[in-house]
A and B are shown apart, each in its own frame.
Chain A
């Protein structure tokens, strides 16, 4: 079905919406990466079987066939494979409309009951509902995890079938493109985005409209639109969810960008680690082309735009603009000196608009509702919403979206449901390996670009890794440094050599070989790397270290002065001891010790010679009586170490 003009698009949208309305019920089975891992594909199959068997008794609509049959799906239209709902910890998730009931942790065995009770008789299966503090929540929208969110970018994720363009059309899809192309000039589109003060969601927070305006003003007429879907920050998956759950929204944003700046082609650069996102995007592009929304003469407007997908090949640095474009060109993904900037000479040395997935996904709603509407959400400096991936030691891990300026406390406690296993909140790592740590006193900090920058952290792509009291901050700093060191492209010396030296210092510290001088050197090196590195990766590489050094200096001092790790995370600082009362003298530990550090007489308690012990933990895992454990001995003299915990 090729839509050759504006009216054809409007009709297609109306028809899709009417078709959707006709469905007496809809079963949306989450087919995001998370729920698929939990077995949601089998749930989909079983539900299809059940609905088909009872097709005569209940009103089901059958799809046009081809699209469904091709992927081996069922021909019943009422059952959808949706994108990620965000509530990954509770997966697999099944949502049933129009009751809007959300079932959590669904198993294949539950399908019959769901079908029988909910589909046939309209009553909920209570044991599958979300429960918190003794309250069962029937409607998805009432669950605290969702109720406190403002889902604009993620609005359709989980509510429509990501593999069919008709679903996107039914919820008003491509009406922003229509408005932009038929009611606005390219300049007006740029102006709206500029006025909305939409800031890049990939990390830097640079003004999107400013970039667009610059590209539109270049004398060179061949221009490109590039989407950065190389979501490499460990602990962030919002872009993956948009690409998997609502790919057309992002594509629509890219076509609008192309129209606004006069680009003829666009590229989406996606991490190779996201195979599902790649396949959903391919499907979406093919469907948009078939519908005449991509390709030559879009909707008869005379404007043509082509879209390509490039897969990443496992280099974190390719999230940096000039490295990303180099990678698309078939080169090593190494950043270059700027200027010229990407807006002047980006992909193939042509003016290029480069934004990330979430940024493009914001564009359609700004075009529809206007800049003023957009600015009414969030804070004055950072309008709109932000998606955060909330992970780590928290009850409700998952993907959330809140207005900019929401406090950390609201996210951790109201939406996130607090810390796992009732542990104490210790810190949150924001912005991945380029970000910093926020602590208890920051809980009321408003999360937006400027407040975080002031605090020495950055929003990054929006990964929030929550850490409880059992997490060693020195080890976390080492972990991030190890990551950036691995991912350093090696082009500039400060980053290539500096991160390596910083990692060595941190490894010394967690191994108990550190001195107070190590801390000074870390600070000196960290500052130098930040000041002299070529690109953002190097400039921010030392942020996690510098920020933990500032905030958790006590822990660093304990490591170097007293060889003590209060969390017991640092293996080398552990002290293995045998509990005399529990030890039966079986000698198993002694036989398994690789260095012969354990000795004793059969049937009486064994002892570990700590000078020989290499802290491998083999004895602990072998002991049949649980008599061996690692203790972290607190320092004897702790006068000069304050308790500075949060």
Chain B
């Protein structure tokens, strides 16, 4: 059971759309935007509200890459590995990030819940390749060294906070 305010928030989001099953995706997108992940308990709750089976809701939520049942870090870093970024050596960017943060192919979030690193297929900013985004803010023409700088900067920001 989650804290009651989670369910209140879900109710609020649902009331903005309605309880037709076609609103499942926008509703769970908004929930995820709120908590930076999709709490499984809430998915069950929403399925009930929309009169669809839990299995159905899970089948949809697991189909789309954007939904995550795991909590994400404060900074979600998406490294673009689209074609343009790939030919301009985005692999090195990802390697450096993982090295800096002690992450691996199977571990995407740091233990202190500060950073989550993901790869995405294309951010549509191909002219500035290679790019990455930090919480949707685009950083252009990245190099491994700029990655190190960026992490330092983000950590500094955290210290001040």
Contact = CB atoms under 8 A, between A and B. Distances in A.
Interface of A: 33-34, 36-38, 88-89, 91, 231-237, 240, 271-275, 310-316, 327-334, 389, 391-393, 397-399, 429, 432-433, 463, 465, 467, 471, 476, 479-480, 483, 486-487, 489
Contact of A234 (B26, B65, B122, B140): B122
Contact of A313 (B67, B85, B137): B67
17 contacts: A33-B124, A34-B125, A37-B128, A89-B128, A91-B128, A232-B121, A233-B122, A234-B126, A235-B82, A273-B123, A274-B124, A313-B29, A315-B63, A332-B60, A397-B84, A429-B83, A433-B83
Nearest to B128: A34
Given A275-B136, A311-B29, A314-B120, 10 more contacts: A34-B125, A234-B82, A234-B126, A235-B84, A236-B124, A273-B120, A310-B25, A389-B126, A392-B83, A479-B83
B124 A240 contact: yes
B59 interface: yes
B84 A234 contact: yes
B127 A272 contact: no
A399 B124 CA distance: 11
A509 B26 CA distance: 42
Interface string B26-65: 1001000000000000000000000000000001100111
A36 B138 contact: yes
Nearest to A308: B26
Contacts, number: 139
Contacts of A38: 128, 140
A234 B87 contact: no
Contacts of B129: 391-392, 397
Contacts of B126: 88, 234-237, 389, 391, 397, 463
B63 A333 contact: yes
Interface stretch (B7-15, B16-24, B100-108, B148-156): B16-24
B74 interface: no
Contact of B29 (A272, A389, A391): A272
A392 B84 contact: yes
Contact of B23 (A240, A330, A399, A467): A330
B79 interface: no
A88 B127 contact: yes
B147 to A, nearest CB: 14
Contacts of A393: 87-88
A483 B21 contact: no
A214 B59 CA distance: 34
